[in-house]
Amino acid sequence: MRMMREVQGCLAAAQTEVLHGRLAAARIILAQALAIHPTSVELRRAQAGVLDKSGRHADAEELFRVLLGEDAGDAASAFSLASILKNRGSTAAAAMVMRRCLASRSNSGDPDLAIQAIELLDDCDRKADAAAIAAAAIDANPNEPRLRAYAGMLQMQLGEFERARRHYLFALQYDERAWEWHVPIGLASAQRYESCEHPDLTLLRNGLERGGLSDKACAELHFALGKAHDDFGDYEEAARHFREGNAIAHRLTKWSRKAWRRAVEARLASPAGTQHVHPMPCFTPVFIVGMPRSGTTLLAELLSRHPKVCNRGELPWIAKLAGLSSLAGNPDRASIEDAAVTYAAHSRQDDPGDACWFIDKQPLNFRYVDLMLTMFPQAKIIHCRRNERDVALSLWMQCFLEEVQGYSYDFDDMALVMHDCEKLMGRWQDRWPDSIRTVRYEESVADSRVVVESLAAWIGFPVSQTATSAASSSAINTASLWQVRQPVHSHSVRRWTRYIECLPELSQFADGHPR
């Protein structure tokens, strides 16, 4: 009892020092306490946490690994170690730590712990590992709707649509809160509907009529019903639901036209960088940019079928780095090189195999092409373009979860973002004509092999090894979940013509190729 009181007192004193930013003082308190109680798990864990906050990540990692060697089910140490690994790009190692922790006898039946692990691994883009934890947790807790909702989300991203549907339906049946968990929009996205007689439509309509739902949940239900009606060709009813959903989502979004314009003008006014850095060996980033819904996901999937290419999906790191004060204006060489090392670590991660090219298909990176080519002069930028009316319609039909996509709920906002995309890409194309290649969606779906082989030659892939027929096994975490799992087709070309009568706002956008 006395030992426990002493340990708790030291932990409280160290925490006070940490809260005041006095990390060195916290380390001294913990070191003194450990000299008396060297085996205390709580003190050693706290010491590792302070070391991590002090920037001594390797020392913190070593201590957390010792603790987990003594007890693989030490969840606090496992989550802390996984966060350290995630922050340096070692996501496969982070997944291994979490799976071992959740597999321990002390944790195997804890749904709350499983959900925390799932969220961490989902954020690491380790969908298969997160799905494995979800499946094990469901085996131990088969009647837990929250786990079913998470499992449905993960199975959707892995292309297991029927399994996702079963999880989503279970969650809606056994927990009313599931209507607020993005489950209805997930359910509607997991298949293509053939008639209004499908029971999902009755379920979704009943959800709208139940009352008591948040505005966000109501918006998602309208998007789900719009998607279902679009599937079987009832475009007027689809447009009605999409209009309702967009109106609600537009009221809720914090996206600001003024803030967007200010950011774009600042980017256009930024001076051309004068620093030149050397290309990294065995690392060529391939950035696929353009308006969302312009074919970026399709192109990334097709290119990633090459054995030397790793598709990392939509990485957040370029936007994060662009926000650093050290990279504003005309940054010095050291800042650029540090940023490049950070980005490369999170792009390579710890499972690249023998990949040399790494795809980042975050469409809105068109804002930062100057930064990308300053950090990586060897980078290749692919600018995807598509019929403006098709892009506008496709955006309007999506219920995005990311606030950065808030412009997509208003046609005037969409027009602004499209215009600025063209303006920025025009600036970058003039400055770096040899590093940027434009690809049109309509050409990609008309003859994907010709487009991919041309890009492969330009990027530098060995043409003899380029593959365009094998299906990709990577997880997909975008609004294109269903579409990109289907064979390449041209059904969405000039899709806007089906809606022009009930959606006259499309007339403000250019017909044919974008301007």
Give the CATH number of the domain where residue 308 resides. Answer: 3.40.50.300
Q: Is residue 348 assigned to a domain?
A: yes
Q: Which residues of 467-491 are buried (b: 16+ CB within 10 A; e: fewer)?
A: ebeeebebbbbbbbbbbbbeebeee
Q: How far apart are CA 121 and CA 117, in angstroms?
A: 6
Among the listed ranges 15-29, 263-277, 278-292, which one has the minimum average pLDDT value? 263-277
Percentage, residues of the chain above pLDDT 70: 94
CB-facing half-sphere around the CA of 191: CA atoms within 13 A:
16
Give the per-residue pLDDT at 486: 59
C-beta neighbour count of 105 within 10 angstroms: 8
291 phi, psi to nearest 5 deg = -65, 140
Residue 469: predicted pLDDT: 41
pLDDT at residue 472 above 50?
Answer: no
> Rounded to whole angstroms, how far apart are CA atoms 285 and 450?
22
Question: Is residue 357 assigned to a domain?
Answer: yes
**Cβ contact 72:63 at 8 Å:** no
Nearest 5°: the CA angle 327, 328, 332 is: 50
pLDDT (0 to 100) of residue 233 = 95
Beta-strand relationship, 284-290 and 380-385: parallel
Strands (E), 295-426: 309-311, 357-360, 380-385
Structurally, how many domains does the chain consist of?
1
Which domain does 331 fall in, by range?
A: 281-391+423-493
Mean pLDDT on 492-515: 84
For range 240-253, the mean pLDDT: 98
Name which of 132-136, 379-383, 464-468, 474-478 the model is least confident about.
464-468
User: Chain-wide mean pLDDT for the chain?
Assistant: 92
**Is residue 99 a part of any domain in this protein?**
no
Per-residue pLDDT band at 481 (split at 50, 70, 90): low
Does 430 reside within a domain? yes
Contact yes or no for 420/475 (Cβ under 8 A): no
The span from the CA of 56 to the CA of 235, in Å, is 58
Average pLDDT of span 256-265: 96
Q: Is residue 325 part of a domain?
A: yes
Question: What is the DSSP-derived secondary structure letter of residue 505?
Answer: G
The DSSP element (H or E) to which 289 belongs, if any, is strand 284-290
The verdict on residue 482 lying in a domain is: yes
The answer to whether residue 292 sits within a structural domain is yes
Q: Which positions ≥6 away from 270 have C-beta within 8 Å?
A: 329, 370
Q: Under DSSP, is residue 350 helix (H, G, I), strand (E, B) or coil?
A: coil
Q: Does a structural domain hold residue 502?
A: no
Report the pLDDT value the prediction gives residue 461, as an integer from 0 to 100. Answer: 85
